[in-house]
Amino acid sequence: MNTEESRHTIRVQRWVVITSVALFAVKVTAYFLTNSIAVLTDALESTVNVVTGFTGLYSLKMATRPRDDNHPYGHGKIELISASFEGILILVAGLIIIYESVINLLHPHEVKQLDTGILLISATAAVNFIVGAWCVRVGKKEYSIALQASGKHLQSDTWTTVGIIAGLILLRLTSIAWIDSAVAIIFAFMIILEGYRIIRETVAGITDEADMALLSELVGVLNKNKRDNWIDLHNLRVIKYGHVLHLDCHLTVPWYFNVNEAHREVDELDKLIGDNFPHTLEMFVHTDGCTPAGSCRVCPIQGCPEREAQFEGRIEWTFENITNNEKHGFQTG
């Protein structure tokens, strides 16, 4: 992510904060007008939007700081901490919604001015969904986990609000007091599930769990664009620190290449990955010299003066073999 993309991400998050504060005010107003515990629950859930909006903004600003002596890999992982905090708050909000709904089932409150409340809450749902979809789209494009988490949270808040609207409409039509609480409980479980999923993703990032989707995409790009001089690639490791992508691997090149020739192949690999993955890219590539006994059978270089065996075919790189710490080759004998 370049400087302009970082600024764009921060601008989007600022709008998330502004929107969250405004919608919270609208929902509180709707509660005082309707005296609906379901609307109050929705307003309480929106306090999470406000808190996490400011937290996400702070984390994005921190993530753009350059590396320093204390943070040699940069500050990108603070996005994961922010997203995990947001996931925890979403879980708590879901539990609060269930608690308040149960209390309302046992001790129903008198609800009033439902028409006005439904209109106000419906407007907040529409705005939440639009802003949330925008955050997710920008977050995926610019590989910002914090911004994606903010967007998904806003969208989950939308579905909560939809459930509450459904409850209020049914209540308006039937005058059955427990309906809004029952619907709110159902959607509270959806919120809890979304919070768990966000926490699961951030824990995976903090513990450097392999990103299978990213690795599969990377392997596909490498297979499609491999050069003849890239005889083998193995011991591949990919770690994401926010928008920064760290890649380690061993690249096998002809053993008779000098340092400059081997470095040129590393540069080509660096360029290929940088062109296809819009992260800030850091590569640590260890070059290995080929071994005639094992590498000739998978090496397509024509006219090689050191060939000791006939070329039998390139081996298709897969997630399984490209991450192993051993060179590939056909078995002899």
Most confident of 7-21, 44-58, 248-262, 317-331: 248-262
Q: SS in 3 state form for 143-184?
A: CCHHHHHHHHHHHHHHHHHHHHHHHHHHHHHHCCCCHHHHHH
**In-domain check, residue 299:** yes
Residue 138 has pLDDT above 90, yes or no: no
- Same domain? For 263 and 317 the reply is yes
- Same domain? For 81 and 163 the reply is yes
CB-side neighbour CA atoms (13 Å) of 281: 17
- Same domain? For 45 and 164 the reply is yes
- Same domain? For 124 and 201 the reply is yes
- Same domain? For 252 and 122 the reply is no
Length of the chain: 333
Residue 184: give its domain's CATH number. 1.20.1510.10
Q: What is the pLDDT of residues 16-69, one digit of tens each?
A: 888 888 988 998 999 888 878 778 777 877 777 777 777 667 666 665 666 666
The string over 233-242, giving b where at least 16 C-beta atoms fall within 10 Å of a residue's C-beta and e elsewhere, is bbbbebbbbb
pTM greater than 0.75 (yes/no): no
- Same domain? For 131 and 28 the reply is yes
**In-domain check, residue 327:** no
**In-domain check, residue 330:** no
Q: Count structural domains, the chain.
A: 2
The domain boundary residue, chosen from 206, 238, 271? 206
Phi-psi region of 130 (alpha: psi -120 to 50; beta: other; left: phi over 0): alpha
Q: Please answer whether residues 181 and 104 qualify as being in contact, where contact means their C-beta atoms are separated by less than 8 angstroms.
A: yes
The domain boundary residue, chosen from 173, 206, 239? 206
- Same domain? For 159 and 253 the reply is no
Among the ranges given (118-127, 195-204, 276-285, 322-331), the one the predictor scored with the smallest mean pLDDT: 322-331
Q: Residue ranges of the alpha helices (H) in the chain? A: 3-34, 37-63, 78-106, 114-141, 145-174, 179-206, 212-225, 259-276, 292-295, 319-322
Residue 218: give its domain's CATH number. 3.30.70.1350
**In-domain check, residue 328:** no
pLDDT (0 to 100) of residue 112:
81
- Same domain? For 55 and 189 the reply is yes
- Same domain? For 76 and 217 the reply is no
- Same domain? For 186 and 242 the reply is no
- Same domain? For 169 and 248 the reply is no
Higher pLDDT, 1 or 117: 117
- Same domain? For 196 and 259 the reply is no
Structural domain for 315, as ranges: 212-322
**In-domain check, residue 268:** yes
